[in-house]
Amino acid sequence: MPQIPLSTVFYLTLATLLWAGNAISGRVLVGSISPITLSAVRWGLAALILFPLGWKVFKPSSALWQNKGRFLVLGLLGVGSYNVLLYLALQTSTAINVTLIGASMPIWMLFIGAVFYKVRPTLLQMVGAVVSLIGVTVVLTRGEPTSLLSMEVVMGDLLIMLATILWAFYSWMISRPGESTERQWPWAEFLMAQVLIGFMWTMLFEGAEIATGHAFIDLNYWTGALIIFVAIGPSLIAYRCWGLGVNGAGPTVAAFFANLIPLFTALLSAAILGDPPQLFHGLAFALIVIGILVSSTAKKSS
């Protein structure tokens, strides 16, 4: 992978591994906590944990206030709407549908880059997208592609599609800071601005869930442990790693790493259930990595 530093590969891979854990946690918590409440509690805890390190970003002299419009959008796309839509999707859609649709991210990343940022995709990037998507399909169908014919579209499928598109916009935005000096900020302050603003957006959505009588939480040791995990791992650590990875590899190449999420999800599920990995997992991993390698040989979007 000649154009991508190993540190960037590590950041992007760790982020996808943690988000695979988030998907599993979200499915396990269905019935124990309502989706928007889960997102609100998750980001509220994340903001509380991060606050001692990043509170200075809200000082009157902070450069944040010169870019408040930009961070209102970043908080909405990357923290507020994406996670609410993901947890809502898991209420009605199957795991295979959610992760397969989410695997279309490289396609959307290439499309948004071409239309809104005038970055034309290369042939290698398009080939890499197809190869990587085939690898994801192998995981999700357990080596039986004909099972795709029996899939049905539900509301959750549409929600995760919207979430994927919004995440693609978010990734392009953090790779194009424009006049913002955010890349010179301490990492905790940059993340704190996104997390707290995203939490505020989430609380607006939570108000609607409460008003309609759909908010609930059954708190116990197991539920609490999973919530703490998603507040630290998939939230603070993964978002920090993703930002570093996008800056290092560009949003288009980074999107191909997102296709590792369904593979990691399958492997983690297999480990939890005591079901050993199968041959198709190895085939899928090879195809996904080939897609990443092919796409990374093209000129990095930065």
Three-state SS annotation for the chain: CCCCCHHHHHHHHHHHHHHHHHHHHHHHCCCCECHHHHHHHHHHHHHHHHHHHHHHHHCCCCHHHHHHHHHHHHHHHHHHHHHHHHHHHHHHCCHHHHHHHHCCHHHHHHHHHHHHCCCCCCHHHHHHHHHHHHHHHHHHCCCCHHHHHHCCCCHHHHHHHHHHHHHHHHHHHHHCCCCCCHHHCCHHHHHHHHHHHHHHHHHHHHHHHHHCCCCCECCCHHHHHHHHHHHHHHHHHHHHHHHHHHHHHCHHHHHHHCCHHHHHHHHHHHHHHCCCCCHHHHHHHHHHHHHHHHHHCCCCCC
- Let me know: does 298 contact 255? Beta carbons within 8 Å: no
What is the structure's pLDDT at 15?
A: 94
- What distance in Å separates the CA atoms of residue 208 and residue 39, rounded to the nearest whole number? 13
What is the structure's pLDDT at 263?
A: 77
List beta partners, residue 33: 217
- What distance in Å separates the CA atoms of residue 209 and residue 201, rounded to the nearest whole number? 13
What is the structure's pLDDT at 301?
A: 43
User: Sign of the C-alpha dihedral, residues 183, 103, 130, 287?
Assistant: positive
What is the structure's pLDDT at 2?
A: 46
List beta partners, residue 284: none
Phi and psi, residue 119, nearest 5°: -105, 105
- What distance in Å separates the CA atoms of residue 251 and residue 169, rounded to the nearest whole number? 9
Q: Rounded to two decimals, what is the model's pTM? A: 0.81
What is the structure's pLDDT at 300?
A: 46
What is the structure's pLDDT at 282?
A: 75
What is the structure's pLDDT at 154?
A: 76
Tens-binned pLDDT, residue by residue, of the chain (302 aa): 446 788 999 999 999 999 989 888 888 898 899 999 999 999 999 999 999 999 999 999 999 999 999 999 999 999 999 989 988 988 887 665 676 677 778 888 888 988 998 888 888 888 877 887 777 677 667 677 777 677 666 788 889 889 989 999 998 999 899 889 998 999 999 999 999 999 999 999 999 999 999 999 998 999 999 999 999 999 999 999 998 998 888 887 887 788 788 778 777 877 775 656 667 767 777 777 787 777 666 544 44
What is the structure's pLDDT at 234?
A: 93
What is the structure's pLDDT at 119?
A: 87
Residue 230: closest CA among 82, 26, 90, 52:
26
Cα-Cα-Cα-Cα dihedral of 19, 20, 23, 27, to 10°?
Answer: -150
For the purposes of burial, counting CB atoms within 10 Å of the CB of 83, is it exposed (0-12), middle (13-18) or buried (19 or more)?
Answer: buried
